Amino acid sequence: MVSERGLQVLRAIVQDYVDTHEPVGSKSLVDRHAFDVSAATIRNDMAILEEEDLIAAPHTSSGRVPTDKGYRLFVDHLAEIRPLSAAQRSAITTFLADPHDLDDLLARTVRLLTQLTGQVALVQYPSFARATVTHIELVVLEARRMLVIVVTDTGRVSQRLATVPDDLDEEDVAQLRAQLGTLVAGRSAREGADRIAALRAQEPGDRLAPSLEVLAGVIGEELEEFRQNRLVMAGAATLAKREQDFRGSIHPLLEAIEEQVTLLRLMSEMEIDDEGLAASIGRENDAFGLGEASIVTSTYDAQVGSARVGVMGPTRMDYPSTLGAARAVARYLSRVLEEDGRR
């Protein structure tokens, strides 16, 4: 059991190591922090922390650095999440103002979060599986070329180009629009995708069946994408800049960024606290091949449910500031989406 002063010593070691990237000794702790005890007493506290595997000596006769277990105890006992400065809050408001659509908003969000933290930023798309399709539109661009537009009640608008096998007149386009609208309009993305799949499994009918097949396929692909979890990311280059902070290779992190599935699984399994915050540190990520990294997340709310904003970096992370940035960005993102939903 770690004493209150032991926790204070651990906090000081984490803080100094994050700031200096140098192992921390008892003398520097006494010099930098007001413990009102001798260096010998601090050394005894550090010995207990080392016995508990909360700190370790990277080299013989060196100072000590936090272990993954030490970082976990530090995060679990954070007295407060560091608030953002007025300039940082202003940057959030300015950078995320008046997005063109959800894709633009989330792309801006990860760029902003990378700038605020200097780490890899991750934003999970909200799942649109329960969103209701409100409208299907077909716009003829040129012979056999058509723009297929799918609109949902959440405000998401999908646009895809399609090339149909038939020459269609206005009446044909109107008939196809009506057929597709009857098939999916007023239904959830999940139900719409299932109905599209059922249609495509049927035998071809009238002369418009080949064009209907193509257009239904495009809509079905879009609705399937609505159902899938996706991530938007930024800041992968920061891993190379901070490669010295990782004990081993950064390649598993780069592969996770490339694949997305691993990060989505990890983020979905992280346990959130009462404020919607979560942290998964070092060896806690071994099952996902990311034992070299820490990930912190904050939950944001969208009309169709909640999703997560996250930051990934080395275990030597400024957790109070990073959690504060993730929380502030998530709260603003929730507000933007709530206001957009009321329009």
pLDDT tens across 277-314, in order?
999 999 999 999 999 999 999 999 887 678 899 999 99
Residue closest to 269 by CA, chosen among 102, 124, 67, 70: 124
- Cα distance between residue 69 and residue 75, in whole Å: 10
pLDDT tens-digit profile of 40-59? 899 999 999 999 999 999 87
DSSP state of 24: B
The first and second tokens of residue 96, run together, are: 């995320």
The predicted-structure confidence for 109-167, as pLDDT tens digits, reads as follows 999 999 999 999 999 988 776 788 999 999 999 889 999 999 888 767 889 999 999 88
What's this model's pTM, rounded to 2 decimal places? 0.77
| Residue 71: per-residue pLDDT | 96
Please give the angle made by the CA atoms of 307, 84 and 240, to the nearest 5 degrees.
70
**For the chain, which domains are there?**
4-76 (1.10.10.10), 86-126+230-342 (3.30.450.40), 133-227 (3.30.390.60)
Alpha carbon dihedral 147, 212, 224, 201, in 10-degree steps, equals -170
